[in-house]
Structures are given as C-alpha cells and as structure tokens.
Amino acid sequence: MISRRNLLSLAPAAWLAAPGEVARALQPAAAPGLTRVKIDAEQVTARVNPRIYGQFIEHLGRCIYGGIFEEGSPLSDAQGYRKDVQAAVERLRVPVLRWPGGNFVSSYHWEDGVGPWERRPVRFDTAWFAVEPNRFGTNEFIEYCRRIKAEPYLCINLGTGTVEEAANWVEYCNGTEDTHYAGMRRRHGYKEPHNVRIWGLGNEIYGMWQAGHKSAEDYAKIALEAAKMMKWVDPSIQLVACGAGDPDWNLAVLERLASIVDYISVHLYVGGDDYYELLGSVRRAEELLRAADSAIEIAQAKTRGRRAPGFEIPLPTARTQIAFDEWNVWYRKRDGRNRQVRNKLEEPYNLRDALWTASMLHVFQRWGDKVTMANMAQLVNVIAPIITSPKGLYLQPNYFPMELYRAHSGDRVLHTWTEGPRFATKAHGELEYLDVCATRAGRRGISIGVVNRHRDRQLAAHFEINGALPGGRGRRFVIDGPSPDAMNSFESPRTVQIAEGELSGLNDRFLVEFPPHSITLLEFST
C-alpha cells in the first residue's frame, strides 16, 4: 500500500526535464549539488547470482520458536509454521536459506533433531544459554525451504562435532542407496532425498566465543577431512570454508582447502549511532572482500595443479567464490547470552539502517562475479527485518530494500561512473552522497538503484545512458520516511514502506531528484 505521504513525496522528485534543457541548464558549475552519472548499457562489469539475496535462521531467541515456527498458535498451520510469517518471507523470494547456525551449530548434533518429536532430547544450548527442545530439525527446515521455494544451505558442526557425523548428515539428506542413514530418512517419512547442495564447514571457528574454537591450522585439518568424507558420500555438493576478517587465517585455510571447497565465507556486523559513520561502514565490507579475494588469488597460485592423492572425487575447477553469509547492522541489543532474556537480540531498525542495507546490496552486485552468495542475518525477530508477536507481525525498514532489489534488479551490472558531492567520515574516508548501481535484465530492461545518504537534503542526478535508448516511460520505487530515525511498529506499521510512481519523458539524458535519506529504484525498458 502506498501512503498519502509517500505519494506526495513522489511529485517533485519524479520531475524530468527535457534532455537538451538538462544538458544546457544543469552543468555541475551551475548546480553544485548535482551528481553526474554515466551508464554504459553495453558494458557488463559483473553478473549477479540471485543467491546474494539469501537469508539466515538460527536457533537463537525467537527466530525459530515464536518466529517461523510456533506450535499451537492460532496464526500457525497444523504443522506449526506461522502462516503470516511465511507470507512475509515469500514476498522476499528468498533464493537460499542458511541453517542451523551461527554459533548454535558448534554444539548442535543433527540426530537430536530428527525422528518423532516425543523421542527428541531436550538439550542445553551452550551458544546462547537457552533450552533447545529440538522440535525444529532437519526435516522441518527442508519443509520450510520447500514452502518458500528456497535452496537449503546446511552448516555442519566442526566445533564439537566429528567428520563422521558430518558425512552421516549428508547421507541422511542426500543418500539414495539402501544404507543406514538414507534408510533412517525414509523411516522418518521422506522417501526421496532432500538433495541439499550447499554445506558450510563450520561457523566462526576462529572465535573464542565458539564451542570448539580452533586455530587456522587445526580448523583446516578437520575441515579437509570432513570435506573429503562428505564428498565421498555425495560428490555433487558445494562446500563453504569458514573465513575470517584476518587475511592470515584465510590464507592458511585456503592453502589446504582451495582444491576442494567452492566458497570461503565473510561475516560483517556494524553499528553505532553516528549517522554518517554507520553509512560509511560499507567500506569495511569492501575491505573484507578485497582481503578475501587476495587470499584466494595467493592460495590458488600456490596450489594450482596440485591434487591431493586419495580424494577420488571431482574437485572444483572454478576459482573459489565468496559467500558473505552473515551481515547486518547489530549493536543495540547484545543480550544473546543473558539467561533471563527470551526475546534475545531483537534489534530495532530505522530508515538509516535500511539505507545501509541497500548500499550493501550494491556492494554485492558490483562484486557479483566473486560474491555469488550472501545471507542476511537473520530472518525473523533476531536482528531481523520481520518482528512477530502472538497476535501478528510488522516489517522493519530493512525489509524493504531486500524486497525491492530482489524483485526489480537485473542480473548484469552495468559500468557506472559517478561524480558528485561527498561526505566525510572518520573511519572510512569520503563517500559520495548518492550511491548508484545500475543493472540490466536481458537486453531491454535497466534498473538503477540510488541511495541518497544525505541526512537532510534532496539531491539531483543527471543521468547519461550510452548504448541504449530509454523507452520514454518507466517506474520509480522509493523507500523513505519523515526522518532517518523513522521506524515501524505494531502501532505504526507503515511509517516506512515502498512507494511506486511513474516516470515519463525518459531519453538518453534525464534528471531525477531524490528525497533525503531515501532509497530509489528507477526501472525502464530500452
């Protein structure tokens, strides 16, 4: 639904001058606040894998229980899945869903969560100091992925788990022969295999907060043995090595694993109340990506042509890719290990956080040939875009850029040059107020994402499209609000949302104005 306020905000911002008039009257010298944007519609700089719009769920707080799964609730179906949550998740068109952790996985044993509910043990979760009933396990997760049409991504326990346990899990999920764990799955009601293709080799094992914390060398040894056994069971699976912010860790891990894994992971959480410092922290994501990319290059140069004997499995031939499989703003709620708190890590997000989210999607798009999977952490209640209560839910501001970009961005990134006013940060240098990323869908459609990071001012951009002629009309989607601090709530669920309007008079040169603290996506055919 488009609010009256958002409809009114579109009126001045959707004005387009005639191309000749723009070129003559709005040169940078005459319009110092103007950003110049040149887009080459014939030069593709990266291809976007839809997996970058992935999500993540963990057994933490109310993410699973009371979030996507709430037995006995009038809002749930007979199997216990929250119908209202599922409807909100389906709008995101989640391509890949990561589970069960996160820190939780380092003390999780998957056999606790399969079979009849009455036989599943209740355990103490040492990751988040909570009781785990194991009512939601492997098969419930697979069922949920099928409901929302997402590809499952399972992360194994390499903290307190064994390599045999990991291989057995692959057999349980993917086995087709008359073997013990494939037979167990069949007895549990699933005759056909789950065909889980993406498997993570542990989570953040570099951290002292992790059960089974290991050095890079010790992690690489056990990860290699797990990878071998898992691929012996199913050679078709894709594996994600546990990366870190430390380049030395990544290099040590990849020197041993580059010949067998498909991905190395990157995690990033940022936070702080300073408006511009927070928005500037997308530079930290770029730094982590450059560091991971360098480690991949060095490791592959060192291991090129080397094949460890005895693998007897098909090994990856492509360059190791990057999975940015945990990322978000997170600093307000740090109560994950407070035994007295049930609603753990329920971070309240505002419009400023949504601007950061959109800029992160721009980063993933620009790095699309190397970042081929990303998973926002997390999906429901816990540092999440969806917040529930026993009576309903509302969508936080960072939900909407995920919905908008997934639905309307193209799968090819176009070469884009920008020049415009900048803002300064202490930790991240200078950044342009307008963050612009253009994508193309096929040969005829172009989408341009624009984040106006100026806190207070409407800014204009003069666009020049080379190699294609816009078809005259298009659509304009805007996410904005009365202030950067604007938030949604159960009482006011539509303070921040997506508004849609029309564009007209589009040509190879045109001008658009963008509201302060806003996200805009322009979409037109050529």
**Span 224-240, average pLDDT:** 97
Residues 328 and 435 in one domain: no
Last residue of one domain, picked from the residues 373, 408, 443: 408
Tens digits of residue pLDDT in 127-136: 999 999 999 9
Average pLDDT over the chain reads: 92
Is the pLDDT at 197 greater than 60? The verdict is yes
Residues 359 and 467 in one domain: no
Q: Which of 204, 346, 347, 523 is catalytic?
A: 204
Residues 368 and 300 in one domain: yes
At 53 the three-state DSSP class reads helix
**Span 67-84, average pLDDT:** 98
d(C-alpha 350, C-alpha 479), whole Å: 12
Q: At 282, which CATH number? A: 3.20.20.80
Residues 306 and 355 in one domain: yes
Token pair 């070129």 is at which residue?
23
Residues 382 and 422 in one domain: no
**Span 78-94, average pLDDT:** 98
**Span 435-449, average pLDDT:** 92
At residue 310, the pLDDT reads 61
At residue 518, the pLDDT reads 98
At residue 471, the pLDDT reads 87
At residue 444, the pLDDT reads 73
d(C-alpha 129, C-alpha 404), whole Å: 36
d(C-alpha 200, C-alpha 412), whole Å: 27
Q: At 504, which CATH number? A: 2.60.40.1180
Catalytic residue check, 326: yes
306 band by pLDDT with thresholds 50, 70 and 90? low
Token pair, residue 170, equals 């692959």
Residues 414 and 399 in one domain: no
Catalytic residue check, 118: no
Cis peptide before 378 (omega within 30 of 0): yes
**Span 317-322, average pLDDT:** 89
**Span 326-344, average pLDDT:** 96
Residues 34 and 147 in one domain: no
Residues 348 and 223 in one domain: yes
Domain of 370 in residue numbering reads as 50-408
Residues 488 and 505 in one domain: yes
Tens digits of residue pLDDT in 489-512: 999 999 999 999 999 889 999 999
Q: Which of 58, 326, 403, 523 is catalytic?
A: 326
Domain tally for the chain? 2
Phi, then psi, of 315 in degrees rounded to 5? -105, 155
Amino acid in position 307:
R
Residues 27 and 55 in one domain: no
442 band by pLDDT with thresholds 50, 70 and 90? confident
224 band by pLDDT with thresholds 50, 70 and 90? very high
Residues 419 and 392 in one domain: no
Residues 13 and 158 in one domain: no
Tens digits of residue pLDDT in 276-305: 999 999 999 999 999 999 999 999 888 775
At residue 308, the pLDDT reads 56
Last residue of one domain, picked from the residues 361, 389, 408: 408
**Span 353-361, average pLDDT:** 98
| Beta strand extents in 187-332 (DSSP E only) | 198-200, 238-241, 263-270, 321-329
Last residue of one domain, picked from the residues 341, 376, 408: 408
**Span 468-482, average pLDDT:** 94
At residue 339, the pLDDT reads 95
